[in-house]
Structure 1
């Protein structure tokens, strides 16, 4: 891995304002043609920080030059939006679920991350949201394994045994890498496409208006932020305690 966050960078610690009810939100139009919905924004050290919710636990730092406009929009009225068929909810673990230790999972995620220049904590956050670390998880929609791959997607990625942890993680990591490339390293859009499908992201030219997808993106990136901060804390503490400080 190169740098703290690999190919993603600090600017991709993004989320959408879907997890917390707010009276209004802000639509931030970006120079790449996409937009980001946030709860509020602020300027921090020359960067525009877009907050996902009032508690400021998830955010994205964006260069001012990447922003075309910011406008306040009313919170939409509650509506029932059916979860898209591609959305996955992990099933109850099977009695035949093979034991997979945290060290084993971390090792295979590290290997996959190095192969695709993805941060291991990002992959771990996706696995947690998708399957809870259960290699035998299966969703109502038919997504399977640690990274909840559909059979067609797994076949396209060359995954031979969808329930084999290494094979599943290899395929899921390759798919996420491809989505990040497709959406120019916009993590929010890549995660939304992973959950709801690229067609839905392209149709709405941004995060689809599916409650499940919005919560999924916010949940993954909140966990990613938490893991990165936990990883950085010991290094910062060691630096302060080193001779000369």
Structure 2
């Protein structure tokens, strides 16, 4: 007659499961927990009284999703403001908004300042060229700044994103040298920070920046 297998108590069962879990590789445990959360989260609905509607628990949006959503909204909002303030066509405004916001963030500049600089320098013309050899939206001179910006002269001419990034880099260079926004703009305009030499230029950018800042969505 076969002997009956003794049943394990709850504590013994939990102890064995804990030992088994701890013996698994860390990566496997992480993957299993992630899979479990994917299954359980949609089911976690908390009910109140009979007369109340069910209340769904709020969970934070994964970090991998939030930045992209926030970035897209920021680009749309900034592009819309440039359309209203400067009359830039919506499709072009969104392109410029993305380039300007990224370059400003990387070089610690006010995006409204950089957008106003592009407005005054080129009126948002992608392939603008001057008689003095300045090119693109920010009107940088490839002969002077291409090596400083770590790019080719051709890129500054044909790639507006690269051009705006270089313009932001040049402006931040002058800002770091003299420590003031007006001085940085004077340096950008004349090649060297010379107080009083570019007052009209600085005033035009200030006016454009005020126009952009006062434009509501």
Shorter-chain-normalised TM-score: which range? 0.5 to 0.7
Task: Identify, as 1 or 2, the structure richer in strand.
Answer: 1
Establish whether residue 229 from structure 1 lines up as the match of residue 214 from structure 2. Answer: yes
Contact persistence 1:135–1:145 (CA under 8 A): yes
TM-score (norm 2): 0.54
Q: Size of the alignment, in residue pairs?
A: 124
TM-score (norm 1): 0.48
Report the structure number with the largest CA radius of gyration. 2
Superposed displacement of residue 102, structure 1? 0.6
Structure 2 distance, partners of 1:229, 1:133, is 20
**Equivalences for 1:162-177 in 2 at 5 Å?**
162-163=156-157, 164-177=159-172
Establish whether residue 193 from structure 1 lines up as the match of residue 187 from structure 2. Answer: yes
Aligned to 1:104: 95
**Equivalences for 1:1-245 in 2 at 5 Å?**
101-151=92-142, 152-160=144-152, 161-163=155-157, 164-184=159-179, 186-198=180-192, 201=194, 206-208=195-197, 213-231=198-216
Structure 1: state its 5+ residue gaps.
Answer: 1-99, 235-245
Superposed displacement of residue 157, structure 1? 1.3
Cα RMSD for the two superposed structures = 1.8
Task: Identify, as 1 or 2, the structure richer in helix.
Answer: 2
Superposed displacement of residue 230, structure 1? 2.4
Superposed displacement of residue 229, structure 1? 2.6
Superposed displacement of residue 135, structure 1? 1.4
CA offsets per residue over residues 82-139 of structure 1, 9 Å max, x none? Answer: xxxxxxxxxxxxxxxxxx7110100110011111111111111000110111111111
Structure 2 distance, partners of 1:157, 1:180, is 16
What is the SS of the residue equivalent to 2:109? Answer: coil
Contact persistence 1:159–1:168 (CA under 8 A): no
Aligned to 1:78: none
Greater RCO structure (CA 8 Å; 6+ sep) = 1
Superposed displacement of residue 153, structure 1? 1.2
Structure 2 distance, partners of 1:194, 1:150, is 11
Structure 2: state its 5+ residue gaps.
Answer: 1-90
Superposed displacement of residue 228, structure 1? 1.8
